Structure 1
Amino acid sequence: MARNPQILWRRLDRPGHDACRIWEDGERQGVEGMAVWLDEAGPAHLQYLVTCDMAWATRSARVQGRVGAREVMISVHRSDLGEWRIGGEEIPELGGLQDIDLGFTPATNTLTIRRLRSSGRNEAEVGAAWLNPADWRLRLLPQSYRRTDAGWHYAAPRHGFEAVLAVDADGFITDYPGLWIKEDFDGYS
């Protein structure tokens, strides 16, 4: 695995890209990036930063930018006791969850996969604090991950979605069928 690896994803369901990197500072780790796409509401650009503990459990997330005419500024925190807050408001139904799912980027699937890998787990039923891009509120999203020979089988039954996610050595999704694919930028300097 590379130190502070990066990826560039191309969106497949509409025009867009997402540039992301995994970072670590010795006490914390996470992902940061910028997603740019053509949303139904108009041009969108969102910068994100997710901070995790050393076991890849989410501690905080920040999202800021615009989607069409709407300004988006969101701050999410997860306490040591597993309580989730968005803009300071507690969301009790998310208590105890470890993962956040930012609905506009595959970066947060990478966090869950890295957490499962680091704990030696090949499958898990998890709940994620899902940031719904329709209204920018956090909701519980049950998910499952299972390692296969081809990658990780991912399912979000509430959305009727399942796919095998191809994943590289760093845990980045390289093929998220129908939604995202890794752009090849080898050779660029």
Structure 2
Amino acid sequence: MGLLSAGLFWERRDVPGAEQVRLTDRDGLYAQGTVLAAAPVGYACHYELQTDPGWTTARFDVRAEGAGWTRGVRLELAAGRWRVTTSEQGDLDAALVAAGHARAGLPGIEDPDQLYGAFDVDLAGSPLTNTLPIRRLGLQTKGDNAGVSHRLSVAWVLVPSLEVVQADQIYTPLDDGRIRCAGETFAADLTVDDGGFVVDYPGLARRITPGRGSS
């Protein structure tokens, strides 16, 4: 793939943490990123994401690791079907219980056919993955289709467990150029740039220009 010259950085607002990603979006999206967070346990999450030219997810490799444990998941979409492979070492549950949290689900998903009809991955806590449906549906074009809601199914990857679940989401472009992202238990009005990349996700993260503070 060569050098990835574009880079983005977000500061988390829900927990101490950040996301840094290098990418190219010349022919779909190729991205390599890292998410760091201090809760529910301290972890680093490294991912590699590839879409097709129409911004449908083709491959998503993600690895989460913390003290005494590591987990990995690969999701691949071809001909409308998802393939999910997983790996696990150590004991994440021990770390969670010691921190006063419930045990984690297993990495991956037992029946990948539950993801049928999903074209996007959504990594929990990652503003980068919100760009996938925005670009795939062309929602970043300000003023076009304002108020028109798009209901979609996503492959939601929970962290740090890397459990994969099917989730329904609704994306709605607003008159002021923001994009509302909503699910069963949340709603947020996202500020995005002309490329559809999140600048501000209220309550979750805000993009930072290194050396200049918030963009």
Q: Same fold (TM over 0.5)?
A: yes
Whether the 8 Å CA contact 2:140–2:196 is kept in 1: the answer is: no
- Provide the secondary structure at the position in 2 that maps to 1:117: coil
* Equivalent residues of 1:163, 1:177 under 8 A apart: yes
Aligned residue pair count: 181
**Structure (1 or 2) with the greater strand fraction:** 1
CA RMSD of superposed structures (Å)? 2.5
Matches within 5 A, 1:99-178: 99-117=120-138, 122=145, 123-133=149-159, 135-148=161-174, 149-157=176-184, 160-178=185-203
Deviation of 1:103 (Å): 1.1
Counterparts of residues 69-108 of structure 1 (less than 5 Å): 69-80=68-79, 82-87=80-85, 91-108=112-129
Identity of aligned residues (%): 27
Show structure 2 runs of 5+ residues with no match: 87-109
Distance 1:119 1:9 in 2: 19
Q: Which moved more, 1:67-76 or 1:90-99?
A: 67-76
Q: Is the 8 A contact 2:63 2:71 kept in 1?
A: yes
Q: Which moved more, 1:60-69 or 1:46-55?
A: 60-69
The whole-number CA distance in structure 2 between the counterparts of 1:109 and 1:156 is: 13
Q: Which amino acid aligns with 1:47?
A: H
Determine helix, strand or coil for the equivalent of 1:178.
Answer: coil
For residue 79 of structure 1, what is the amino acid of its counterpart? A
Instruction: State the partner residue of 1:55.
Output: 54
SS in 2 for 1:93: helix
Residue 105 of structure 2 corresponds to none
Secondary structure, counterpart of 2:203 in structure 1: coil
Cα distance, 1:173–1:102 mapped onto 2, change above 3 Å: same
CA drift at 1:156: 1.2
Cα pair 1:4 1:24 within 8 Å, conserved: no
Q: What SS does structure 2 have at the residue aligned with 1:183? A: strand
Deviation at 1:22, TM superposition (A): 3.1
| Larger of the two Rg values belongs to structure | 2
For structure 1, the 5+ residue unaligned runs are none
